[in-house]
Amino acid sequence: MIRAGIVGGAGYVGGELLRILLNHPWVELAFVHSRSQAGKPLTDVHKDLIGETKMCFSETILPDVDVLFLSMGHGASAEFLQKTNLKSGIKIIDLSRDFRLKTTNNDFVYGLPEAFKDQIKTASKVANPGCFATAIELALLPLAAGGLLQAEAHVSAITGSSGAGQAHSETTHFTWRSGNVSLYKPFKHQHLEEIKQTLQRVGSGEQPVIRFVPMRGSFTRGILAAVYTKAKLNLKEARSLYEAYFLQHPFVFVVEANPDVKQVVNTNKALLHLIKEDDQLLIISVIDNLIKGAAGQAVQNMNLMFGLAENVGLHLKPSAY
């Protein structure tokens, strides 16, 4: 059994990690740490887990674990690792953006299995990708890997309110979000840098500019990204390229029908649909921002790091209606 610990288990992503790990056949959940909820039952915060566990949030970090999931706010993971003396050999999977960008002192592997599976298998530290980044990277990986991403890519993508995290703000308040849509951070979203980095690593050298317009949607969870760029491939050639690229990746499916987010909500799946119009190739990509965009992908990475099939514990049913 893999002994796992979670640091920062009170948020939305922490709750999804709990749900998956409690039902994972090869995982024993050793502790769930939370400074704000220490001593309280997990079910006081994550009410969907009533009847699933009697564990309480821990005040301390138990040293005797095999893997540690860091599910804290951005900036908190780097601070935690600087201040905490962890036992040698503990594998770390970080779900913040603290270690996604490669720097001189950063020894984390970027945890997108569809691009870097072999590196993840031998890694001791993995930086989980962002949710928007995951959806957009999956849409463009086959083109970049084939040297076929040669023109600007334009992205319009919409996410549910859970993408903003558990802390309340004006734009997550029900009376503002319900029946409403808005743009935010156009062309300047924080996930752009990791998208560029990934496409450069998968492709050969400098890749074209990504023009990204993110939107807030009037729903709780899920991401739908519409990505289009010039391509010389016809639709049949593009479909063959995408099917071949994702053949060995169990969570990505190239589908014939135009997908919607309810097909992937509550799952680790990504659905891609291709449309060719004139010289433009449109790729529609849908994922659950909390699962494939966060907790599910983190468990997928854990499976790879411990030599398990990457879909173990991730056979999850979508909330299709």
Sign of the dihedral through C-alpha 208, 209, 214, 220: positive
Distance of alpha carbon 126 from alpha carbon 141, whole angstroms = 20
| Active site members | 131
| Angle at 222 (CA atoms; ends 218, 228), nearest 5 degrees | 100
Residue ranges of E strands in 66-216: 67-70, 91-94, 109-110, 125-127, 153-159, 182-183, 210-216
Q: How far is Cα 105 from Cα 301, in angstroms, rounded to an integer?
A: 22
Beta bridge partners of 223: 159, 287
DSSP string, 6-19: EES-SSHHHHHHHH
First to last CA, the chain: 35
Edge-to-edge strand list for the sheet holding 270-277: 182-183, 210-216, 153-159, 223-230, 280-287, 270-277, 252-254
Structure tokens at 74: 């951005």
Helix or strand or coil: residue 202?
A: helix
Whether 46 and 15 have beta carbons less than 8 Å apart is answered as yes
